[in-house]
């Protein structure tokens, strides 16, 4: 077999995207999506197989970089790869062309700024220039063109497979940030492209466990600097399909990558999950999706405990666990006080409220069971000798209430 890498691999992935979007044949669309799925699985499986203690060579502590990004820096990602320039005429699907190397405009980014999500013009510019070597340089300059004191960072890849995964993941994040037109056509190329890219990102996050990767691995860097930025846009989308895909990715980050993303996840909890639950203007579909996401998070007892320990027990962090329980209790105990005979529309609304109360109550039960299970495991661990530690792992609780808001609407009607 002939293995392809870097620019050739990006071209192959882009071609699959274009065929999926341009073709009117369901068979061609399914085939293109299947090839894309297999390709991405293969690339990231190879990356995991070749995981080495990758070094991000930066002349200062990376924690200061993350804090700087969260507190004062606005990203603008340019993915123009020097090694990925194509001649004119190579793209046959001009009407549906997706350029993986087109720079992002400032308006395509919602930024995590000072613990909140904002959309504003950038104060700094992060330009990423790929090269044929296993190094990606990140130049940092201000709007006025004056370099910062620490001007350059370098990502060093220990294998070509790792660099392939980094480039594809960055391209998928960029595609997921494409601006949607005001008139939302479910068959539009922009929406289908966004959904497909989010599905591919979710596929990656479901099959990769963040625990074995070191904190300075290039893929962890990509999640912090590209995926988190993409999620700040898509997790506040009014399009419910996009919103649900983004929430599913956030759930994966919380359950598998919390050790690498403490500050970023705090922002997601505060500005997305909690904000939607407490807002009276949030739609039923969005609240239902958030409750389903919390239900999946509460399936993992360790995640529940980590939320409490990492945030509520931290001096400078928000009381995330307390606020989650408070909002869930408020939803579970709410009721309609109108005793009159409801119309058809009012009855549908009441049935929706009832189902939402039930789901919130089940989330509370899951949270309590997770805490009890964790406490029992800790007590068992104290009684077992050091030579024979407890090896039984807590199985996920089976209180599933999965289903989309559309499914609930069909049942109600």
Per-residue pLDDT tens over the stretch 77-88: 333 333 333 333
Residue 384 DSSP SS3: coil
Q: Do you know the residue count of the chain?
A: 413
Mean pLDDT for the chain? Answer: 70
Termini Cα distance of the chain: 54
The rounded distance, in Å, linking the Cα atoms of 17 and 10 is 11
> pTM for this structure?
0.69
Does 92 fall in a domain? no
Tens-digit pLDDT profile for residues 263-310: 889 889 988 999 998 888 888 899 999 999 999 999 888 888 888 888
H or E stretch including 173?
Answer: helix 160-175
Query: Which tokens belong to 189?
Result: 């190329």
DSSP 19-41: HHHH---HHHHHHHHHHHHHHHH
Does 99 fall in a domain? no
- The pLDDT of residue 106 is 42
Does 190 fall in a domain? no
pLDDT bracket for residue 407 (50, 70, 90):
low
- Going by C-alpha positions, the residue among 269, 274, 293, 311 that lies closest to residue 366 is 293
Query: Which tokens belong to 138?
Result: 């990140």
Does 35 fall in a domain? no
Report the pLDDT averaged over residues 147-158.
52
- Going by C-alpha positions, the residue among 314, 302, 312, 298 that lies closest to residue 368 is 298
Spatial CB neighbours of 107, under 8 Å, sequence gap ≥ 6: 119, 179
- The pLDDT of residue 377 is 76
Map tokens 């289908």 to a residue: 192
Asked whether residue 149 carries a pLDDT value surpassing 50, the answer given is no
Distance (Å) of CA 133 to CA 56, 158, 188, 198? 15, 11, 38, 29
b/e sequence 83-115, b meaning 16+ C-beta within 10 Å: ebeeeeeebeeeebebebbeebeeebbbbbbee
Residues β-bridged to residue 138: 128, 153
Does 399 fall in a domain? yes
Distance (Å) of CA 316 to CA 259, 261, 266, 344, 407? 17, 16, 11, 49, 40
Does 246 fall in a domain? yes
Residue 65 exposed, middle or buried by CB count within 10 Å (0-12, 13-18, 19+)? buried
Does 202 fall in a domain? no
Query: Which tokens belong to 147?
Result: 């370099």
Does 129 fall in a domain? no
Spatial CB neighbours of 191, under 8 Å, sequence gap ≥ 6: 180, 184, 185, 239, 241, 242
Would you give the DSSP letter of residue 252?
H
Residue 154 phi/psi, 5-degree rounding, is: -130, 135
Asked whether residue 64 carries a pLDDT value surpassing 70, the answer given is no
Select the more confidently predicted residue: 64 or 351: 351
Domain that holds residue 372: 235-413
Number of domains in the chain: 1
Asked whether residue 257 carries a pLDDT value surpassing 50, the answer given is yes
Task: Identify whether the C-beta of residue 327 lies closer than 8 Å to the C-beta of residue 277.
Answer: yes
The rounded distance, in Å, linking the Cα atoms of 273 and 277 is 6
H or E stretch including 128?
Answer: strand 124-129
Tens-digit pLDDT profile for residues 96-126: 344 444 444 444 333 333 334 443 333 322 2
Asked whether residue 193 carries a pLDDT value surpassing 50, the answer given is yes
Would you give the DSSP letter of residue 270?
I
Angle, CA 347 vertex, CA 344 and CA 352 arms, to 5°: 130
């Amino acid at each position: 077999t002939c293995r392809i890498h870097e620019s050739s691999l990006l071209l192959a992935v882009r071609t699959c995207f274009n065929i999926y979007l341009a073709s009117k044949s369901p068979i061609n669309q399914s085939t293109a999506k299947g090839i894309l799925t297999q390709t991405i699985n293969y690339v990231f499986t190879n990356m995991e197989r070749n995981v080495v203690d990758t070094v991000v060579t930066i002349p200062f502590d990376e924690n200061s970089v993350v804090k700087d990004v969260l507190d004062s820096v606005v990203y603008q990602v340019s993915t123009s790869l020097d090694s990925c320039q194509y001649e004119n005429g190579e793209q046959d699907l001009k009407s549906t062309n997706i350029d993986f190397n087109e720079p992002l405009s400032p308006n395509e980014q919602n930024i995590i700024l000072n613990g909140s999500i904002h959309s504003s013009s950038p104060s700094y510019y992060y330009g990423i220039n790929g090269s044929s070597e296993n190094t990606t340089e990140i130049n940092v300059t201000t709007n006025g063109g004056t370099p910062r004191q620490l001007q350059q960072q370098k990502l060093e890849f220990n294998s070509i497979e790792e660099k392939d995964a980094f480039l594809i993941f960055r391209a998928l994040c960029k595609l997921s940030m494409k601006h949607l037109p005001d008139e939302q056509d479910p068959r539009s190329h922009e929406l289908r492209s966004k959904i497909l890219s989010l599905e591919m990102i979710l596929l990656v996050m479901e099959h990769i466990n963040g625990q074995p990767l070191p904190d300075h691995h290039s893929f962890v860097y990509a999640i912090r600097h590209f995926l988190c930025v993409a999620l700040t846009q898509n997790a506040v989308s009014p399009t419910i399909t996009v919103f649900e895909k983004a929430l599913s990715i956030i759930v994966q980050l919380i359950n598998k990558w919390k050790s690498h993303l403490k500050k970023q996840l705090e922002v997601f909890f505060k500005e997305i999950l909690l904000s939607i639950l407490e807002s009276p203007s949030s739609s039923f579909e969005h609240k239902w999706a958030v409750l389903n996401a919390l239900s999946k998070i509460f399936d993992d007892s360790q995640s529940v405990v980590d939320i409490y320990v990492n945030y509520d027990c931290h001096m400078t962090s928000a009381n995330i666990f307390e606020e989650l329980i408070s909002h869930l209790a408020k939803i579970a105990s709410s009721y309609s006080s109108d005793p009159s005979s409801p119309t058809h529309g009012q009855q549908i609304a009441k049935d929706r409220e009832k189902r939402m109360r039930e789901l919130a109550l089940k989330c509370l039960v899951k949270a309590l069971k997770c805490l009890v299970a964790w406490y029992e495991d800790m007590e068992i661990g104290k009684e077992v000798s050091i030579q024979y530690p407890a090896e039984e792992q807590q199985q996920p609780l089976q209180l599933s209430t999965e289903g989309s808001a559309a499914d609930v609407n069909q049942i109600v009607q």
